[in-house]
């Protein structure tokens, strides 16, 4: 006899696992100036999106962070120095 318990349990587990990734917090960095390694030119007003310690997107313009995102504002940073 066929039981629905196993398919329902698998479906619920998949929904919980996949659904938890949809609401996963990102790190959003607003960069006033950016050299992305793909182009030699400096790009202005860029957003860097990080998920699980990996850069997943680089977006032209500033993406609004959601309430559960970590937000870093580097719009005014002009230069980095290790001095």
Kindly report, residue by residue over 30-76, the tens digit of the pLDDT. Answer: 999 888 788 888 999 999 999 999 999 999 999 999 999 999 999 98
First to last CA, the chain: 73
Query: Domain map of the chain by residue range?
Result: 25-77
pLDDT given at position 16: 43
Question: Which DSSP state fits 62?
Answer: -
- Distance from C-alpha of 5 to C-alpha of 60, rounded to nearest angstrom: 48
pLDDT at 77 over 60: yes
pLDDT given at position 36: 78
pLDDT given at position 15: 43
CATH classification of 25-77 is 2.30.40.10, yes or no? yes
Strand order in the sheet with 70-74: 54-60, 43-51, 27-34, 70-74
- Distance from C-alpha of 62 to C-alpha of 46, rounded to nearest angstrom: 6
């Amino acid at each position: 006899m066929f039981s629905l318990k196993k398919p329902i349990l698998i479906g619920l587990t998949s929904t919980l696992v996949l659904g938890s990734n949809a609401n996963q917090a990102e790190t959003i960095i607003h960069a006033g100036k950016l050299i992305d390694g793909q182009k030699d030119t400096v790009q202005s007003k860029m957003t860097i999106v990080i998920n699980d310690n990996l850069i997943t997107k680089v977006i032209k313009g500033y993406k609004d962070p959601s309430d559960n995102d970590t937000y870093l504002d580097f719009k005014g940073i002009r230069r980095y120095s290790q001095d």
